[in-house]
Amino acid sequence: MAIAEWLQKLKVGELSARELVDQQLARIKSVDNELNAYVQVTAERARKDADRIDKARLAGESLPPLAGVPLAIKDNLCTKGIRTTCSSKMLENFVPPYESTVTQRLWQAGGILIGKTNLDEFAMGSSTETSAFGATSNPWDLSKVPGGSSGGSAAAVAAGECMASLGSDTGGSIRQPASFCGVVGLKPTYGRVSRYGLVAFASSLDQVGPFANNVADTAELLKVIAGFDPLDSTSLKVPVPDYSATLNDSIKGLRIGIIKECFDQIGLDAEVKDSVLSAANHLQSLGAELVDITCPRFNDGIATYYVIAPSEASANLARYDGVKYGFRSANTQSLSEMTALTRSEGFGSEVQRRILIGTYALSAGYVDAYYKKAQQVRTLIRRDFDNAFNQVDVLLTPTSPTTAFTSGAHENDPLGMYLADLLTIPANLAGLPAISLPCGFDQNGLPIGLQLMANVLDEARLLQVAHQYESTAEVMKARPNTAELVP
Ligand code: GLN
């Protein structure tokens, strides 16, 4: 059910907020044992919030834009009084004393928290397999991963366990799981959405964004969470456009760039390539102009990211020392032993690997060769995009080189896992907004994702093009209903 459809039902009394919440909780109960999309379900609070909305409606009060919409929140966004674990043993019992700005805005808009979703530990990963609380499965095929790191948020939307959700995207963690789970996911421009209350991974790359079943719902959520926040020093002080208002504008004459380097990839699945190029042709049939674009440094993004992101992570994660909050190793004899054991026992192996890489890249004698060099390449990547956006309005690529892979496929192959982010990372390095939306299925029936990127703060354009595609493409009409996934 789309948000607009739900609000209509609520308004005329066809379905109450309480009934909807009860339906969602029943759905979670019946499928989440298999999916493990949720780390925690907040049933009692959800019912109370729903009753409040129903009361307000009966009293004739005007309803806010997300009234009664059941929402799932990635468990690296702080929720006051509600455990926020980052799917790590380190924060297993951490109860934040404050609320993140994005969630605060959702509750103010009438949204209802239904639960906190699973992720790769501290958002480091592309499969939601490194969670300390067990892996999440893909609702389209339980033997496949849902993508990551926001795999729980994507799977929950795909399986009808919530109406929409929030994730975070540092190198693709919203778009890649959206692609693997056949839903829409948007990473906003760096600074468009407040990061206050998001547990930091790599501060120059992290952004919070929505997942939804369709583009119009994505636009609704973005409208609510976007905008200046004095509590985040990187937040931009610019007005938020009405993203829903321009969804139906024609894309006639719009220039769409096809990045050559993305389609010449070794490892790009042929079915993914065909499906994404057909989507481009469909957009052309709607009046858009396709332009060949070259971004020579695009493929250097991954190497650049895997120096910058771990470097920032090694600094951000220094705070987990067993002193102030979180897990502390028991029975240690000295301060240094306590810190060492706390970090060895509290962090999983992927997080430890990132901290070691980052510490190495930042250490004296290596910082020039690695960290500084990576920053220079980052500038070159951004220049490629500047150049591209002088010629086109939007760039089009696949979201991920493959469809959802089998669980465990990259268990002993971290580099293979890192390659899953090849096509999503450049937008983070350049701070650009990007969206992933479904554009077809492979021969096994798994969804394929199309990525669109726009210039900074041009989310409205992304949503418009995505909506035009979604509402006219034949393949989208044959899309199975979420209720049919995971019977
Ligand atoms: N998969 C990437 C990583 O492991 C991106 C994660 C993210 O965007 N949070 O770092």
Mean pLDDT of 17-22: 98
**What secondary structure letter does DSSP report for 369?**
I
Quick one: CATH architecture of 3-256+391-484?
Answer: Alpha-Beta Complex (3.90)
What is the per-residue pLDDT for 477? 77
Phi, psi of 68 (to 5 degrees): 75, 10
| Residue 350 CA, closest ligand 1 atom number | 4
205 — pLDDT class (breaks 50, 70, 90): very high
| Residue 420 CA, closest ligand 1 atom number | 1
In angstroms, what is the span from residue 198 Cα to ligand 1's centroid? 15
pLDDT of 212 above 90: yes
What is the per-residue pLDDT for 325? 86
What is the per-residue pLDDT for 483? 66
What is the per-residue pLDDT for 416? 82
Phi, psi of 167 (to 5 degrees): -135, -175
Q: Cα separation of 405 and 272, whole Å? A: 13
272 — pLDDT class (breaks 50, 70, 90): very high
pLDDT of 218 above 70: yes
Q: Cα separation of 417 and 410, whole Å? A: 6
Concatenated DSSP letters for 372-412? IHHHHHHHHHHHHHHHHHTT-SEEEEESSSSSPPBTTTTTT
For β-strands 394-398 and 255-259, DSSP reports them as: parallel
CB of 126 within 6 A of ligand 1: the answer is yes
Q: Kindly report the CA angle at 480 between 176 and 15, in degrees rounded to 5?
A: 100
Q: Which of 126, 302, 305, 419 to mutate to test the pocket of ligand 1 (most atoms within 8 A of CB)?
A: 126
Q: Of residues 173, 235, 275, 314, which has the active-site annotation? A: 173
**329 an active-site residue?**
no
Residue with CA nearest ligand 1 atom 5: 171
Q: Cα separation of 98 and 113, whole Å? A: 15
What is the per-residue pLDDT for 23? 97
Q: Kindly report the CA angle at 229 between 223 and 230, in degrees rounded to 5?
A: 165
Q: Cα separation of 439 and 179, whole Å? A: 9
CB of 172 within 6 A of ligand 1: the answer is yes
**62 an active-site residue?**
no
**Closest alpha carbon to 43 in 55, 56, 25:** 25
Q: Which H helix or E strand runs over 164?
A: strand 164-169
In angstroms, what is the span from residue 287 Cα to ligand 1's centroid? 35
> H helices within 84-141, ranges in order?
101-108
In angstroms, what is the span from residue 124 Cα to ligand 1's centroid? 5
Q: Cα separation of 232 and 196, whole Å? A: 5
Using CA atoms, how far residue 430 sits from 223, 254, 383, 444, in Å, is: 22, 22, 9, 34
Q: Kindly report the CA angle at 163 between 149 and 229, in degrees rounded to 5?
A: 65
Q: Of residues 87, 100, 131, 149, which has the active-site annotation? A: 149
**Closest alpha carbon to 220 in 459, 413, 30, 481:** 459
Q: Of residues 16, 74, 87, 407, which has the active-site annotation? A: 74
**173 an active-site residue?**
yes
| Residue 125 CA, closest ligand 1 atom number | 4
Cβ distance 467 to 412 under 8 Å? no
Q: Please name the amino acid found at residue 242.
A: D
**Closest alpha carbon to 301 in 188, 207, 432, 181:** 432
Q: Which of 118, 149, 311, 413 to mutate to test the pocket of ligand 1 (most atoms within 8 A of CB)?
A: 149
**Closest alpha carbon to 184 in 428, 3, 410:** 3
Cβ distance 254 to 394 under 8 Å? yes
What residues contact 33, with CB distance under 8 A and at least 6 apart?
A: none
479 — pLDDT class (breaks 50, 70, 90): confident
What is the per-residue pLDDT for 487? 67
In angstroms, what is the span from residue 265 Cα to ligand 1's centroid? 20
pLDDT of 171 above 80: yes
CA 396 to chain CA centroid, nearest Å:
18
Cβ distance 134 to 89 under 8 Å? no
Long-range CB contact pairs, 29-35, < 8 A, 24+ = 31/139, 31/159, 31/161, 31/486, 32/161, 34/137, 34/142, 34/486, 35/136, 35/137, 35/139, 35/142, 35/155, 35/156, 35/159, 35/161, 35/486
Q: Please name the amino acid found at residue 167.
A: G
CB of 427 within 6 A of ligand 1: the answer is no
What is the per-residue pLDDT for 331? 85
Cβ distance 174 to 211 under 8 Å? yes
CB of 149 within 6 A of ligand 1: the answer is yes
Residue pLDDT, tens place only, 46-103: 999 999 999 999 999 999 999 999 999 999 999 999 999 999 999 999 999 999 999 9
What is the per-residue pLDDT for 407? 97
What is the per-residue pLDDT for 86? 98
Residue pLDDT, tens place only, 286-314: 999 999 999 999 999 999 999 999 999 99
pLDDT of 391 above 90: yes
What is the per-residue pLDDT for 397? 97
476 — pLDDT class (breaks 50, 70, 90): confident
In angstroms, what is the span from residue 337 Cα to ligand 1's centroid? 30
In angstroms, what is the span from residue 477 Cα to ligand 1's centroid? 31
**Closest alpha carbon to 100 in 75, 68, 69, 132:** 75
| Residue 126 CA, closest ligand 1 atom number | 1
| Mean pLDDT, rounded, of the chain | 96
Q: Cα separation of 174 and 206, whole Å? A: 11
CB of 125 within 6 A of ligand 1: the answer is yes
CB of 400 within 6 A of ligand 1: the answer is no
What is the per-residue pLDDT for 419? 84
| Residue 174 CA, closest ligand 1 atom number | 8
CB of 170 within 6 A of ligand 1: the answer is yes
**Closest alpha carbon to 174 in 480, 462, 470, 468:** 462
**Burial zone of 15 (CB within 10 Å; 0-12 exposed, 13-18 middle, 19+ buried):** middle
In this prediction the pTM is 0.97
| Residue 172 CA, closest ligand 1 atom number | 8
**Closest alpha carbon to 414 in 349, 343, 361, 358:** 349
pLDDT of 264 above 90: no
Domain residue ranges in the chain: 3-256+391-484
